[in-house]
């Protein structure tokens, strides 16, 4: 070893990863060539962009291409690119550590995924290490576009790597894979050619295999839609998204005004984020006149569309715009708006064409649409159309749109109602839907904690206010259903006004530490009581979510805001309580507190279980006749 060689240990996580790669089954070993070529293509794109924005570029005259050389005798496969190259520091860090290893579960997930399907390795941003599937040693010779001295990185993948200065290199990177004994087919031209054709046909630079160009360089998105086959689209999706699944949706559109746009966007089948991979990087690349300006661009689409894969190309962007300048570029902002609106419109159209298919997409990616609806005011109208929820008039597991709801609204109904609960069954057994059922008014069931935030942010749909049914000031319209013939019977049986007033003042006093107010309900049908929110903005569900996040942060309980208790003057327990309150105040207090706790539980809110169970036994004791 020369004096200028330094040896480094791989980062612990990289070691484990290499272990997985080296020891996994190699049914799909071809993938390593795709990964190396894809890295080369990235490096070439980066160089092309840098050379547009910088004056001082090393080896500027070298053509942008990828060359593959094979040596059957020495069992070598060499992939050379004239891309951006790596400095000594970059070699050490890019090829010694794993960039995206933030989450603890990363390696476990990765190991599982890679063992199932090696193809997935690229999705984890660790494609380079796939070289060790076929290589007993891997040598990386690289020289950066800044012209600093070149270096060689060398490793057998077992635990360490070395870096040595190497003179006389051209700009770019050469990767020399010394093939394992059982991987020598990768030094054969026909084998490598078939792999390149299969996986890398969309690489936008010539790939020369032993002097012969084996790919056709083309920008698929600039071609005419009618000339592109389904297979070409799917292959392109796999290429641009580093994906193995098939896309569920595809939008290929061109526009001339207000901006020149050529976009090809795909929605994948799988949502890797929910599979525990942590927050994913955006998957759409920004091009200008077919030149990649910003890969995995954070600027071209809002963050909540990060699950999309594809390309946006606009000739209106200045070619030499730097990546930093993209962020506050007005043109980019305009482009983002146009593309986002177009995509959301497309989704809405697709949903109308084939609701089944859309619901499948919704069950996988609905969470991103909801994220958009809670965080982005700009697209609320469009996002509102894409939301789906179960409702009292939907079948179980078949959510409906707000537009469907509006179509079914009763003539005198002006608001859209919703109520949160952990399940359909829990909501339907609870007090909030009683009057809706009776009056035959549809009510939306928000079954996820985020849903109330979504609807509360959205505030209205199609000019109709969105209102949570646990609001204190809710007024339910007369009815469209005509199911209330029995109202009059019940009227007769209900507590006299005077008795009700006296019960209310007693309850206010008894529950003064618990509630803001006690009210005689106009909307309870059977249940004795329910909790409603005087704060029109917060629903009980939102409050529960915020309390949980406070608890998670160790901030302790803040008790939430005070609620109102509505009591049902027709309910036998309430009627009896009006008398009991005078006869046996102690016992009546226990019953009142128990009614309050029960109502809190039905609202999904927290009660003190110890206190409640003790009180409950006391009441049971008396009921048994002790
Ligand atoms: P990813 O490409 O997904 O970031 P890899 O493990 O494949 O992950 O590569 C790690 C990093 O090494 C790349 O991000 C890039 O910075 C650098 N790199 C890999 N191959 C090349 C190459 N041929 N030219 C320049 N840089 C490269």
Measure the CA–CA gap between 457 and 576, rounded to whole angstroms: 42
Helix (H, G, I), strand (E, B) or coil at 372: helix
- CA dist 291 and 512 (Å) reads 69
First-to-last alpha carbon distance for the chain, in angstroms, is 92
Residue 3 has what pLDDT? Answer: 60
DSSP assignment of 486-516 equals THHHHHHHSPPHHHHHHHHHHHHHHTTTTEE
Do the beta carbons of residue 453 and residue 542 sit within 8 Å?
Answer: yes
Residue 154 structure tokens:
């060398």
Query: Which DSSP letter does residue 553 get?
Result: T
Tokens describing residue 402: 């707000």
Work out which ligand 1 atom sits closest to the CA atom of 39: 20
State the Cα–Cα distance between residues 466 and 69, nearest whole angstrom: 65
Ligand 1: residue of 123, 128, 138 to mutate (most ligand atoms within 8 A of CB) is 128
Spatial contact of 585 and 503, defined as CB atoms under 8 Å apart: no
Q: How would DSSP label each residue in 554-616?
A: T--------EEEEE-TTSHHHHHHHHHHHH-HHHHHHHHHHHHHHHHHHTT----HHHHHHHH
> Among 48, 91, 94, which is best to mutate for testing ligand 1, by the most ligand atoms less than 8 A from CB?
94
Q: How far apart are CA 182 and CA 26, in angstroms?
A: 10
Question: How many whole angstroms from 288 Cα to the centroid of ligand 1?
Answer: 23
CA-nearest residue, atom 20 of ligand 1: 39
132, 175 contact by CB (below 8 A): no
**What architecture (CATH level 2) is domain 383-485?**
3-Layer(aba) Sandwich (3.40)
Residue nearest to atom 19 of ligand 1 (CA): 39
Q: Report the interhelical angle of 451-458 vs 355-375 (nearest 10°).
A: 70
Select from 34, 35, 39, 282 the residue to mutate for testing ligand 1; criterion: most ligand atoms less than 8 Å from CB.
Answer: 39
pLDDT of res. 502: 95
What is 264-330 written as a DSSP string?
EEEE-S--TIIIII-SPPPEEEEEETTEEEETT-SSSS-GGGTT-EEEEE-TTS-TT--HHHHTT-H
HEC letters along 389-420: EEECCCCCCCCECHHHHHHHCCCCCCEEEEEE
CATH 3.40.1280.10 matches 220-362: no
| Residue 218: predicted pLDDT | 76
State pLDDT tens for residues 510-569: 999 999 999 999 999 999 999 999 877 788 888 888 888 877 777 665 556 789 999 999
DSSP E strands: which ranges in 121-239? 135-143, 151-155, 160-165, 172-179, 207-209, 212-213
Same fold, 5-213 and 383-485: no
For β-strands 160-165 and 6-9, DSSP reports them as antiparallel
pLDDT at 485: 46
Dihedral angle of Cα 512, 517, 523, 526, to the nearest 10 degrees: 0
Q: How far is CA 395 from the centre of its chain?
A: 26
Give, as one character, the DSSP assignment of residue 169.
Answer: P
* Exposure letters 264-298 (e unless 16+ CB within 10 A, then b): bbbbbbbbbeeeebbeeebbbbbbbeebbbbbebb
Token couple for 452: 């109330």
Which structure tokens are listed for 226? 């009618």
Order of all β-strands in the sheet with 529-532 = 515-520, 563-567, 529-532
Residue ranges of the chain with per-residue pLDDT less than 70 = 1-3, 24-27, 99-105, 115-123, 125, 275-277, 479-492, 555-560, 626
Tell how far the Cα of 94 is from the centroid of ligand 1, in angstroms.
Answer: 6
- Could you write out the DSSP letters of every residue in 431-446? STTHHHHHTT---EEE
The residues with which 415 forms a beta bridge, in sequence order, are 465
Domain extents in the chain: 5-213, 220-362, 383-485, 494-623
CATH number of 5-213: 3.30.565.10
Other residues' Cβ atoms within 10 Å of the Cβ of residue 440? 15
> Looking at residue 489, what is its pLDDT?
52
Tell me how far the alpha carbon of residue 184 lies from the centroid of ligand 1, in angstroms.
24
pLDDT tens digits, 179-221: 999 999 999 999 999 988 877 777 889 999 999 999 877 789 9
- Residue closest via CA to ligand 1's atom 9 equals 128
339, 261 in Cβ contact below 8 A?
A: yes
Please compute, for residue 253, the number of CA atoms within 13 A of its CA located in the half-sphere on the CB side.
16
Q: How far apart are CA 132 and CA 117, in angstroms?
A: 16
Task: List Cα–Cα distances, 329 to 293, 314, 316, 321, in angstroms.
Answer: 13, 14, 12, 9
- Residue whose token pair is 């006093």: 509
pLDDT at residue 27, rounded to an integer: 61
User: Which CATH superfamily is 494-623 part of?
Assistant: Heat shock protein 90, C-terminal domain (1.20.120.790)
Residues with CB under 6 A from ligand 1: 35, 39-40, 43, 81, 83-86, 94-95, 99, 125-129, 173
Backbone angles phi, psi at 290, to 5 degrees: 70, 5
pTM of the entire predicted model: 0.77
How far apart, in whole angstroms, are the C-alpha atoms of residue 592 and residue 506? Answer: 10
């Amino acid at each position: 070893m020369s004096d200028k060689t330094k040896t480094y240990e791989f980062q612990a996580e990289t070691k484990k990863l290499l272990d997985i790669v080296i020891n996994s089954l190699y049914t799909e070993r071809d993938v390593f060539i795709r990964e190396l070529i894809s890295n080369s293509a990235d490096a070439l794109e980066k160089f092309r962009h840098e050379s547009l924005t910088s004056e001082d570029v090393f080896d500027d005259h070298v053509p942008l291409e990828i060359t593959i050389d094979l040596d059957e005798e020495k069992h070598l496969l060499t992939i050379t690119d004239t891309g951006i190259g790596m400095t000594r520091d970059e070699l050490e860090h890019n090829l010694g550590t794993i960039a995206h290893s933030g989450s603890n579960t990363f390696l476990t997930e990765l190991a599982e995924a890679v063992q199932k399907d090696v193809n997935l390795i690229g999705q984890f941003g660790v494609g380079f290490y796939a070289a060790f599937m076929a290589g007993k040693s891997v040598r990386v010779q690289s020289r950066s576009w800044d012209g600093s001295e070149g270096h060689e990185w060398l490793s057998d993948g077992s635990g360490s790597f070395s870096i040595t200065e190497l003179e006389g290199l051209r700009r770019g990177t050469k990767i020399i894979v010394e093939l394992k004994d059982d991987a020598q087919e990768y030094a054969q031209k026909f084998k490598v050619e078939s792999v390149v054709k299969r996986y890398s046909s969309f690489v936008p630079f010539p790939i020369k295999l032993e002097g012969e160009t084996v790919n056709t360089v083309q920008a698929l998105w600039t071609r005419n839609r009618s000339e592109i086959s389904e297979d070409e689209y799917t292959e392109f999706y796999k290429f641009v998204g580093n994906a193995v699944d098939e896309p569920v949706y595809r939008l290929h559109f061109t526009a001339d005004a207000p901006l020149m746009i050529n976009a090809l966007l795909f929605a994948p089948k799988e949502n890797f984020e929910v599979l525990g991979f942590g927050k994913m990087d955006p998957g759409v690349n920004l091009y200008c006149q077919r030149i990649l300006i910003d890969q995995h661009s954070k600027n071209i689409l809002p963050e909540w569309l990060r699950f999309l894969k594809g390309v946006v190309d606009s000739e209106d962007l200045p070619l030499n715009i730097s990546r930093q300048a993209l962020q506050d570029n007005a043109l980019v902002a305009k482009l983002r708006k146009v593309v986002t609106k177009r995509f959301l419109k497309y989704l809405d159209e697709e949903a109308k064409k084939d609701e089944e298919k859309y619901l499948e997409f919704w069950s996988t990616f609905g969470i991103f649409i909801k994220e958009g609806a809670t965080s982005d005011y700009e697209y609320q109208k469009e996002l509102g159309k894409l939301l789906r929820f179960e409702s009292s008039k939907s079948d179980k597991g078949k959510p409906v749109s707000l537009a469907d709801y509006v179509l079914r609204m009763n003539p005198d109904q002006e608001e859209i109602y919703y109520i949160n609960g952990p399940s359909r069954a829990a909501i339907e057994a609870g007090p909030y839907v009683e009057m809706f059922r009776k009056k035959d008014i549809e009510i939306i069931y928000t079954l996820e904690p985020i849903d109330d935030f979504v609807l509360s942010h959205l505030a209205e749909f199609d000019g109709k206010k969105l209102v949570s049914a646990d609001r204190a000031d809710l007024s339910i319209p007369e009815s469209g259903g005509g199911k209330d013939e029995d109202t009059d019977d019940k009227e007769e049986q209900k507590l006299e006004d005077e008795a009700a007033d006296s019960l209310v003042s007693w309850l206010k006093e008894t529950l003064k530490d618990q509630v803001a107010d006690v009210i005689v309900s106009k909307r309870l049908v059977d249940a004795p009581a329910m909790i409603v929110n005087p704060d029109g903005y917060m629903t009980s569900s939102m409050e529960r979510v915020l309390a949980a996040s406070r608890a998670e942060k160790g901030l302790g309980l803040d008790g939430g805001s005070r609620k109102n208790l509505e009591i049902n003057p027709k309910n036998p327990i309430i009627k009896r309580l009006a008398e009991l309150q005078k006869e046996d105040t102690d016992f009546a207090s226990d019953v009142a507190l128990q009614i309050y706790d029960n109502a809190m539980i039905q609202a999904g809110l927290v009660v003190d279980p110890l206190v409640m169970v003790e009180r409950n036994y006391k009441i049971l004791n008396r009921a048994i006749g002790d």
